Chains A and B, each alone.
Chain A
């Protein structure tokens, strides 16, 4: 469907796990090899590396907290996808934002405005934020170790009544966490340079 669209517009497409094939969840029966099809058109093939979300039930968890599944068998899967021609992967975690009604500062400051006494910008618990950030960092390490570019997606859900400023505040926390965690998760495995 995308023959035209792909021309100079969409250089990469990521597939569901079952769509790239290579065992574990099918792909074998498909008449058309999707990765091959994309490669023929010069489109980079990616894979959604995570296996969906699951409730987070650690200490300090709040109702609605989630973590992402699929880290256990990720190294084997990455090796398989690489062999099937993939060049990148994606991992999604999801965090809710707590609604904060208060207006923010007029200056466009990136810190969240003074809000009511909610415990954080997140609807998610601090434990869930930490758990998700760590998962993202570990996923990125595994993916890079297999020569696959990780696309790390800590999605802040649009659900809720929060203003954009609350999203900004929550994003900040999460980003800082990740890059702290990501950069210190143990030195320098990947040497990929731009």
Chain B
């Protein structure tokens, strides 16, 4: 992705757009690699699928690990009526999905029986489900909202909160959890990741490895927190070249050459920054990050100028669609009017 941007003129613009919309690509790490490597082979054969089905059915009947992993959450405090309300709605929805899936599986089985030997693609489609061992969870660490008042809680507290939630809610089968940086500065994203890794190691030491309640890999899948400094350095060089190259008649080769040199230097600086950021976050995912943080400058480290407002839906895309729909309706209307006139 980065390479594409360096290669293309439009890359920079795209980056600007994305920086605004927070739609930058992100990178994932060891957990992704491990899981992807493990799971990327061709889709399972019919026999494998059937075998896994049977195992799941057994687990559902007989309880065991799967049941434990998906058991309802521990009781909430009585004062927590709001969350209970949400959970009620949530489990009602789960029940609905359950019934749908069971009905679909039964229908598929009946169809297969009716068709004799051939258990076709339709049956497989109906049974589509999710294997917990073949996915990664990407989530926001438990941090205060961007506008939260009062003193910031210590990183240890954020790490404890995050790990408590993970322990309670993420099944052991899930191979990895990657944290996102959504809205955190480059430096904060790394620091929070480091705190979580360190706290996890501390807790893990207190129990036998085979019985750790934190069995998943924890790593990062950052976008901005992995790239902002590099992008900033790189685009500074582009700007300089823009000025040097478009200097007009009075500008000689010297100025142009100087600008190109500056651009080369900025690309080199961007590469170094990218490598340093990746290294810092790798260290943090291993719990051995020490700092100082390699963000390009203090502003980048603290996220100054990078604050975003509502990071929700892409209003540009929605607006485009709305405009297209409106234009279509208008054309239709005009067509009708024209037809009526004729």
Contact surface of A with B, Cβ cutoff 8 Å: 1-6, 8-16, 19, 30-32, 34, 37, 44, 46, 48, 51-55, 64, 66, 87-88, 90, 92, 94, 96-97, 99, 108-112, 114-115, 117-122, 126-127, 129-130, 133-134, 137, 140-142, 144-169, 171-173, 175-177, 179-194
Are the C-beta atoms of B25 and A15 separated by less than 8 Å?
yes
List, in ascending order, chain A residues with CB within 8 A of B83's CB. 111-112, 120-121, 169, 172-173
- Cα–Cα distance between A179 and B85 once the two chains are bound (Å): 18
Are the C-beta atoms of B142 and A158 separated by less than 8 Å?
no
- Cα–Cα distance between A165 and B141 once the two chains are bound (Å): 11
Q: Given A30-B4, A133-B93, A168-B161, verify A46-B32 contact (CB < 8 Å).
A: yes
Count of chain B residues near A, Cβ 8 A: 131
Q: Given A176-B90, A183-B70, verify A168-B162 contact (CB < 8 Å).
A: yes
A99, A108, A179: which contacts B145 (Cβ < 8 A)?
A99
List, in ascending order, chain B residues with CB within 8 A of A162's CB. 144-145, 148
Q: Given A5-B274, A112-B83, A171-B169, verify A188-B148 contact (CB < 8 Å).
A: no
A51, A119, A149, A180: which contacts B39 (Cβ < 8 A)?
A149
Secondary structure class of chain A's binding surface, majority of residues:
mixed
Q: Given A1-B271, A1-B274, A152-B137, verify A137-B28 contact (CB < 8 Å).
A: no
Contact surface of B with A, Cβ cutoff 8 Å: 1-8, 23, 25-30, 32-44, 48-49, 51-53, 55-57, 66, 69-70, 72-74, 76-77, 79-80, 82-83, 85-87, 89-91, 93-94, 97-98, 100-102, 104-105, 124, 126-140, 142-150, 153, 157-158, 160-162, 164-171, 175, 178, 180, 182-184, 221, 226, 230, 234, 267, 270-272, 274-275, 277-279, 281-282, 309-314, 317-318
- For the complex of A and B, 3 pairs with smallest distance between CB atoms: A53-B313, A190-B131, A11-B33
List, in ascending order, chain B residues with CB within 8 A of A155's CB. 138-140, 180, 182
List, in ascending order, chain A residues with CB within 8 A of B41's CB. 147, 192
Show 23 A/B contacts (Cβ-Cβ < 8 Å), sorted by A: A1-B3, A9-B279, A12-B27, A19-B25, A34-B3, A55-B318, A129-B86, A134-B97, A149-B134, A155-B182, A158-B183, A158-B184, A162-B144, A164-B153, A167-B144, A173-B83, A179-B170, A182-B135, A183-B70, A188-B55, A189-B131, A190-B44, A190-B133
